[in-house]
Amino acid sequence: MQALTNRAKAVNRRPMTFWERLYLPAIVRGLGITLKHFFKKKATVNYPEQKRPFSPVFRGLHILNRDEEGRERCTACGLCAVACPAEAITMEAAERQPGEEHLYREEKYAARYEINMLRCIFCGFCEEACPKDAIYLTETFAPSNYKRKGFIYGKDDLLIPFPEKAPEA
């Protein structure tokens, strides 16, 4: 019978020598490897005190961006929700009322915008699909939580604060 892949290796069936039966050379070689790794620099990072450098393409928590005047950029077009392979984004659109021009950029806005971080795979497709550059993936870790409800981020959690009210945030 022919093998499906070329990864098959021939098995050596010769009898073991005296030294191989003792297993001492194998044990000494294993201890040598252990001692070699014992004196190497450790790969552990003490997290709160030390921060490890991130790759420039690292994708972390999502944020909803505002424009220069502090208005929400999201127009609830739904392209980010459609592009999300994990179906982690849900939104509901609403019409802008008269007098709300200082809050929303377009006539339509996202009345409800939620991202389920337990489903999110941080692929960045939502960021690429957004025509208004409203959603970004930052270089921040998703914080831990004890309840599932804490991982569903609403619009209040995702929006950048108003620049006039809280410039330091």
- Burial class from Cβ neighbours inside 10 Å (0-12, 13-18, 19+) for residue 122 reads middle
Q: Which residue carries 């804490």 as its tokens?
A: 150
Report the side by side order of strands in the sheet with 152-153: 89-95, 108-116, 152-153
Please name which of 77, 72, 130 lies closest in space to residue 101, comparing C-alpha atoms: 72
80 labelled ligand-binding: yes
120 labelled ligand-binding: yes
74 labelled ligand-binding: yes
84 labelled ligand-binding: yes
- Structure tokens given for 111: 């009345």
- Burial class from Cβ neighbours inside 10 Å (0-12, 13-18, 19+) for residue 119 reads middle
E-assigned strands of 74-151? 89-95, 108-116, 135-137
43 labelled ligand-binding: no
22 labelled ligand-binding: no
14 labelled ligand-binding: no
Annotated binding residues = 74, 77, 80, 84, 120, 123, 126, 130
Annotated binding residues for [4Fe-4S] cluster = 74, 77, 80, 84, 120, 123, 126, 130
